[in-house]
Amino acid sequence: MINRPLHQIAREIERDWGKVNYAAQPYLEAMHTLDSVKDNYYEDTAQSVVLYFLCNAQTWRGVVAKRIKAELKGMVR
């Protein structure tokens, strides 16, 4: 299975999640610049960016949120 680019996932998250949690926002912004969990965002790995996003996205709920969170978790495994 080919993973979608992180920047594409980030766009979908912003379309679905009206008011993004302030703690998740920096990680979502970082995801806009990334293609893969193997990339780097300055000194951080993209994998850590995704994991921090997931930790701070607990208030994002719904069908789309559940699907995308599962997709992201699958990417970092």
Q: Could you tell me the residue range of the domain that residue 13 belongs to?
A: 6-76
How many folded domains does the chain comprise? Answer: 1
The pLDDT value recorded for residue 73 is 97
User: Residue 37: inside a domain, yes or no?
Assistant: yes
User: Residue 49: inside a domain, yes or no?
Assistant: yes
Q: Return the higher-pLDDT residue of 2 and 53.
A: 53
The pLDDT value recorded for residue 33 is 97
CA distance 52 to 46: 10
pLDDT in tens, 18-70: 999 999 999 999 999 999 999 999 999 999 999 999 999 999 999 999 999 99
| Per-residue pLDDT at 1 exceeds 70 | no
| Per-residue pLDDT at 7 exceeds 80 | yes
What is the number of alpha carbons within 13 Å of residue 33 lying toward its C-beta? 12
CB-based contact 18:30 (threshold 8 Å): no
The pLDDT value recorded for residue 2 is 78
